[in-house]
Amino acid sequence: MNLGIAAHITAASEGFARYDARLTREERKAPENGIWLCSDHAHQIDHDEKAFPVELLHKWKQEAEDRAFEQLLTGGRARVEPMGGELAEALQYLRRHLGIPQGEDLTSSMDRARSAAERHIETFSHQGPAHAVSLSLTAASSRGKSFTHVEMAAALRSCGILDLVGEPGQGKSTTLIQLGFELLESGPVPLLVPLAEVGPSVDDLFSWMASRQAFAGVRSEDLKFLAAHGELAFLLDGWNEVTPAARLALMKTLRALRREFPLVVICITTRPQAVAVPFVARTIHIETLSDDQQEELASRHGSVGQDLLDRVRRTSGVRDLARVPFYLQALLQVGDTGTLTTTKEGTISLLVAQHEGIPERAEQLRQGMLGQHRRYLGDLAVSMMRARTTALDETEARQSLRATNTNLLTEGLVQTAPEPVNILDTLVATHVLVHGEGDKYSFQHQQFREWYAAGHVVAMTRGLPKEAGLESTFAQEILNDRMWEEAILFACERLAVDAPGIAVVGQVVRLAMSVGPMLAAEIVYRAGDDVWNLVAPDVEAFARAWHQPDQVDLAVAFMMKTGRAVFAGLVWPLVSNSTDQIQSEALNLGDRIRPSVFGTHLRDDYEHLEERVRERLVSGLIFGGGIEGLEAAFDLAKKDPSVTVKSEAVEALLFRGAPRQATAVLDGADDEVWRRVADRDYFDGLTAPHVLSRLIGLQEDDLKANPSPARNLNRIAHRAQLSGDVTNLAAILGNEKLDLRADYTAAAFHQANSVFPEVVAAAMKERILAGLSLPFRVQGYLSPQPVSEEAALSRIVADSQDIDEQTSGALFLAGAGIVTGMIGDFLALKPKVYANGMPTAVDYAPLGLLRDKISRTRPEAFVEAVVSFSAAQEHRDIEALADLITCHGKHGTNEKMDDVSAESRRKLVEALNGWAARLLSPGPPSRHDMAEVVDAMRRVPDPSQMKWVSVFLQEDLQQRDALKELAKAGRDQAALNEWRTSHTLSYRQALYEIGTGEAYEIAKSLLRHPEFGHDAAIALRLIAMPALLEKRTTSGLIWIVLRPHLKGGRASPTCRLMPQKAYWT
């Protein structure tokens, strides 16, 4: 059923609401100036321009579009309605204009175009990755929820234009192809356009598409016919790859396309740092590969792929690259050939070779840099290292490239050097460099920068004299700078392949032991046995001289980092020590345990160690041993008969992201290990169906045998998080035996609330209604629940004699109707309580309890209820209502009521202004009543209130002056007491909270008033403070009004304006 009405945001004709003379006739008719409303609001906005300004209507529209877009992406109620028959009827004239044959209808045109589009997209899919996964996508409107190209296809037609953004290699083209295949099923017809192939002379994308081989038999006019009906989607791939020369022409073409075919759908891919796309579009971001997606890709390459992924994940620096689809695919393809690399340098080399091996990129690099691209990249990397940065600005990058050109020309390697700007463009276009914000250039990943910089280290070390010492340039500028450590390690791995290189690495190790021993140890490990055989005597002597016998010192960390078995006799007694402190310190020393340093001890002596020593050793190797330590611990855990060792190893392996190894340990374990793992409930990451089924079955058996709700809350919450099924969670949260205040349930309860707040809120409401135990501050868990008018809530609120957790929760859930009844009761009770003057504490207690109850209701419900009394006439009712506003939610602190909507705030301001007007008639109001209204105004300060604040302030000061004279003349004690009651703080704060120019002038005019001058000065200071802080750095003087100097209670006639900087006296 359609109950909506199309309304204008700015009026179509002069004289109507929000007319904007600056808009053209076309802009007034444009969809951007329309808003879809119910009939009531459509009428209201056209008859109350003040209440519904342009900004508010645009905000409504944006919020509604955001909600609909979010629901389309994440499975909500929103849907895209198909175009009605009216559109087809209205576009009949196009058939003749475009030469569409009479026998051809829209459906047959779509079928022919769809077949051609499918053939076209398939040609691109063959060029993409052989095994693609559905990547995770996010958008600002999806509030962190991820979705895939399937949901993106559903949302594309609704918003018209989408901007798909991803880093290089992250899968933009693949996702666009997947989107195209999805649109072939759901519509509109997808036309995939690689923008890099569209030349600057192309001004008609329809003709360009029709000229593709796959579209033989489909005319450009046929495509235009579909576009006019909204049945065509242009998938534009690679806005970042469009050359500057072609970009301007393409912008004009695309804008004309949208102007002439407003229903055409467009999705355009680009990088985050690229020039903005030529449309205002909703942006969708491609996320990096999750662990599950990495596993899915690796599993398609068999055991080799999974082994390689395990190794990559545990290699620092390379681990991040596995989250980028291009790099992971490249490594997996290499793994398929069986040539798995064993060094980190070799891994990066493979990635570089794969990247450069793509024929199109290889040709671009050859033509753009005459085959010298690695030389340019190496020099850029060195410039970054020397500047201690990961990115160079354009000037610095060009200077580096000019220097490289000079060297290449001098060496005779090129005859004519390319321009630096062209080199940068080519390196960015081939995805080697990233052109980021602020015109800065960086490598795709920091590891590539260090890999290219390693070439400079290789050149320096090859030319290093044999007698070079710590005074050498290499030692001073490279070896002594931590920035170069990874580049040094890459260089040493690269060099250690022949006798001259091995000798050079040996020299570097000897120098490094004097500069950075841990770097020397890492080189010893990564450079291989040939280097070790060369430097072993020197390294061993160095370590033994450094080490204090039987002490866990840095020398032990050095020895473990080398991974050399010659140190086994010193290291093994420490890591296998039966003293907890010594063993723990040894296992946690440094950043890497290489199990090869233990020699044969793991094989020969491990099984003779005590159980607790074995458990700590296995866990220590998993957490601190890299891939080698993890594999060694895995082998030990499989063979170890201990339940404790195996179960702790499973948890540690899962924490390190090694589910295959954890599964293997479990498969060889006895029932008690399985029960221990199930009981501990830590098996995130396990995916093998037989393992999950058995563990969950054990948990279910335990639930039946031990039905304690507190014991099982954590387990059920965890299972709900894994499965998404919240049935059991809702049931246990409603269990009457569950004590939510107990320490042992608090953590599980908070975790459940963080993942399933709606489920927890619903359960807390049921517990409130049933009178069950509740957590502390239960209202903090109830926000997802709407307010309610249920009679049960009303009874809880009315019957409670104090405000316990049940009452607090009921008050938070109470709807405006319940709150209205409470306010009515308050207005009726207050005159009775004060009938005989100031009541006693006992007499006031029922009124105070009701006041506190009202103050704990939800803000929106309270405002709706209190403004229903906006017609109140009696001064006592106005005072009481103002008091309720003042104390609501903030316990009398008068903080601004920021937790209500703009519409509720507007209504409350209007109610307060109306009450203020009524206080002035029929006679002068009491000072107390005026102050109460002013205090309430401070909760929702608004410029419209200044009229009443000013009038009330003047009235208060006049009445106080009269009271003072009355007290002096007749020694009237009542008058004296009333005179002593000051409300100046209320007015001072109101002036500051409203903070307008009018408030400033009123405070300024009262500086000399004997009763209010001091407060006026403070108000002026508070109003002026933001401007003063903004101008603190300026050199000029700021004029501020100083506090009047009081003499005998009156303002000094010498009070004057004085120049000051940014302080008050």
Residue-wise pLDDT tens digits, 721-731: 666 778 888 88
Local confidence band at 917 (pLDDT 50, 70, 90 cut-offs):
very high
Q: Are residues 268 and 395 both part of a single domain?
A: no
Q: Are residues 125 and 252 both part of a single domain?
A: yes
Which residues contact residue 1023 at a Cβ distance below 8 angstroms, ignoring those fewer than 6 apart? 991, 992, 995, 999, 1000, 1003
Number of residues that make up the chain: 1065
**pLDDT at position 1052:** 36
Res. 400: pLDDT tops 50? yes
**pLDDT at position 314:** 63
Classify residue 362: in a domain, yes or no. Answer: yes
Which amino acid is residue 243, in one-letter code? T
- Taking alpha carbons only, the member of 268, 72, 241, 289 closest to residue 164 is 268
Mean pLDDT rounded to a whole number for the chain: 84
Which residues contact residue 10 at a Cβ distance below 8 angstroms, ignoring those fewer than 6 apart? 18, 19, 20, 23, 28, 33, 54
Res. 1032: pLDDT tops 90? no
CATH number at residue 200: 3.40.50.300
Query: Worst-scoring range by mean pLDDT, 510-514, 540-544, 545-549, 734-738?
Result: 734-738
Local confidence band at 84 (pLDDT 50, 70, 90 cut-offs):
low
Strand positions, DSSP E, 117-263: 137-139, 161-165, 189-194, 232-237
What gap in Å lies between CA 372 and CA 404, rounded to an integer? 10
Of the two residues 974 and 1002, the one the predictor is more confident about is 1002
Which residues contact residue 524 at a Cβ distance below 8 angstroms, ignoring those fewer than 6 apart? 509, 531, 532, 535, 539, 562, 563, 564
Residue 759, token pair as written in the block: 């489920």
Residue 793, token pair as written in the block: 């809530």
Find the helix packing angle between 946-970 and 973-980, rounded to 10°: 140
What gap in Å lies between CA 480 and CA 471, rounded to an integer? 11
**pLDDT at position 273:** 55
What gap in Å lies between CA 619 and CA 649, rounded to an integer? 6
**How many domains is the chain partitioned into structurally?**
4
Phi, psi angle pair for 1033, to nearest 5°? -85, -5
**Domain end position, chosen among 444, 471, 494:** 444
Cα 853 from chain centroid (whole Å)? 38
Helix (H, G, I), strand (E, B) or coil at 927: helix
Local confidence band at 248 (pLDDT 50, 70, 90 cut-offs):
confident
| Model confidence, pTM | 0.59
Classify residue 109: in a domain, yes or no. Answer: yes
Q: Containing H/E element for 205?
A: helix 205-210
**pLDDT at position 1055:** 33
What gap in Å lies between CA 935 and CA 17, rounded to an integer? 35
Its sign, for the CA torsion 41, 47, 52, 57, is positive
> Rounded mean pLDDT of 566-575?
95
> Rounded mean pLDDT of 690-707?
84
**pLDDT at position 365:** 87
Phi, psi angle pair for 440, to nearest 5°? -105, 145
Which amino acid is residue 257, in one-letter code? L
Q: Are residues 277 and 135 both part of a single domain?
A: yes
Q: Are residues 272 and 171 both part of a single domain?
A: yes
Local confidence band at 892 (pLDDT 50, 70, 90 cut-offs):
very low
Classify residue 694: in a domain, yes or no. Answer: no
Within 10 angstroms of residue 551's Cβ, the number of other Cβ atoms is: 12
Which residues contact residue 501 at a Cβ distance below 8 angstroms, ignoring those fewer than 6 apart? 494, 495
> Terminal CA-to-CA distance of the chain, rounded, Å?
68
Which amino acid is residue 606, in one-letter code? Y
Within 10 angstroms of residue 465's Cβ, the number of other Cβ atoms is: 9
Residue 994, token pair as written in the block: 């409203």
Q: Are residues 253 and 310 both part of a single domain?
A: no
Classify residue 581: in a domain, yes or no. Answer: no
What gap in Å lies between CA 556 and CA 533, rounded to an integer? 20
> Rounded mean pLDDT of 671-693?
85
Helix (H, G, I), strand (E, B) or coil at 265: strand
Res. 131: pLDDT tops 60? no
> Rounded mean pLDDT of 1039-1063?
34
**pLDDT at position 148:** 86
Which amino acid is residue 131, in one-letter code? H
3-state secondary structure 633-659: HHHHHHHCCCHHHHHHHHHHHHHCCCH
Q: What percent of the chain has pLDDT over 90?
A: 43
Its sign, for the CA torsion 676, 678, 681, 682, is positive
Q: Are residues 355 and 426 both part of a single domain?
A: yes
**Domain end position, chosen among 255, 272, 287:** 287
Query: Worst-scoring range by mean pLDDT, 124-128, 602-606, 767-771, 812-816?
Result: 124-128
Q: Are residues 230 and 256 both part of a single domain?
A: yes
Strand 137-139 relative to strand 282-286, pairing: antiparallel
User: Are 221 and 104 contacting, i.e. CB atoms less than 8 angstroms apart?
Assistant: no
CATH number at residue 417: 1.10.10
> Rounded mean pLDDT of 410-420?
92
Classify residue 674: in a domain, yes or no. Answer: no
Residue 764, token pair as written in the block: 């807390």
Q: Are residues 152 and 279 both part of a single domain?
A: yes
Residue with tokens 């006049």: 958
Q: Containing H/E element for 71?
A: helix 54-74
Instruction: Name 442's bridge partners.
Output: 391, 434
Res. 1047: pLDDT tops 60? no
Phi, psi angle pair for 152, to nearest 5°? -60, -40
Classify residue 520: in a domain, yes or no. Answer: no
- Burial of 329 from C-beta contacts in 10 A (0-12 / 13-18 / 19+): buried
Res. 97: pLDDT tops 60? yes
Q: Are residues 24 and 64 both part of a single domain?
A: yes
Residue 832, token pair as written in the block: 């009775």
Q: Are residues 182 and 272 both part of a single domain?
A: yes
Q: Are residues 330 and 357 both part of a single domain?
A: no
Query: Worst-scoring range by mean pLDDT, 18-32, 392-406, 706-720, 776-790?
Result: 706-720
Q: Are residues 243 and 318 both part of a single domain?
A: no
CA distances from 490 to 13, 80, 448, 559 (A): 72, 55, 11, 21
Q: What percent of the chain has pLDDT over 70?
A: 88
Residue-wise pLDDT tens digits, 735-750: 888 888 777 677 778 8
User: Are 268 and 281 contacting, i.e. CB atoms less than 8 angstroms apart?
Assistant: yes
Find the helix packing angle between 446-462 and 485-495, rounded to 10°: 60
What gap in Å lies between CA 418 and CA 271, rounded to an integer? 26
Residue-wise pLDDT tens digits, 37-76: 877 777 777 777 777 888 888 888 877 777 776 666 666 5
Annotate 999-1025 with b (16+ C-beta within 10 A) or e (fewer). bbebbeebbebebbbbbbbbbbbbbbe
Residue-wise pLDDT tens digits, 475-527: 999 998 888 998 999 999 999 999 999 999 999 999 999 998 999 999 999 89
- Taking alpha carbons only, the member of 957, 893, 881 closest to residue 918 is 881
- Burial of 693 from C-beta contacts in 10 A (0-12 / 13-18 / 19+): exposed
Local confidence band at 975 (pLDDT 50, 70, 90 cut-offs):
confident
Cα 129 from chain centroid (whole Å)? 29
Which amino acid is residue 85, in one-letter code? G
What gap in Å lies between CA 806 and CA 775, rounded to an integer? 10
What gap in Å lies between CA 1064 and CA 1004, rounded to an integer? 15
Residue-wise pLDDT tens digits, 295-354: 888 888 787 787 778 777 766 556 667 778 877 877 777 655 555 566 778 778 887 887
Res. 1048: pLDDT tops 50? no
Residue 471, token pair as written in the block: 């005074």
**pLDDT at position 1028:** 54
What gap in Å lies between CA 1026 and CA 151, rounded to an integer? 47
Which amino acid is residue 246, in one-letter code? A
Which amino acid is residue 513, in one-letter code? M
Query: Worst-scoring range by mean pLDDT, 174-183, 264-273, 764-773?
Result: 264-273
Residue with tokens 């109507």: 16
Q: State which of 261-265, 685-689, 858-862 shows the largest mean pLDDT.
A: 858-862
**DSSP letter, residue 147:** B
Which amino acid is residue 299, in one-letter code? S
Domain span holding position 160: 93-287
Contacts of 419-426 with C-beta under 8 Å, sequence gap 24+, read: 422/368, 423/368, 423/369, 423/376, 424/394, 424/397, 424/398, 425/243, 425/368, 426/364, 426/365, 426/368, 426/369
Classify residue 1015: in a domain, yes or no. Answer: no
Its sign, for the CA torsion 832, 837, 840, 844, is positive
Phi, psi angle pair for 1051, to nearest 5°? -70, 140
Which amino acid is residue 51, in one-letter code? A
What gap in Å lies between CA 420 and CA 557, rounded to an integer? 47
Classify residue 535: in a domain, yes or no. Answer: no
**Domain end position, chosen among 82, 109, 138:** 82
Res. 569: pLDDT tops 80? yes
User: Are 983 and 927 contacting, i.e. CB atoms less than 8 angstroms apart?
Assistant: yes
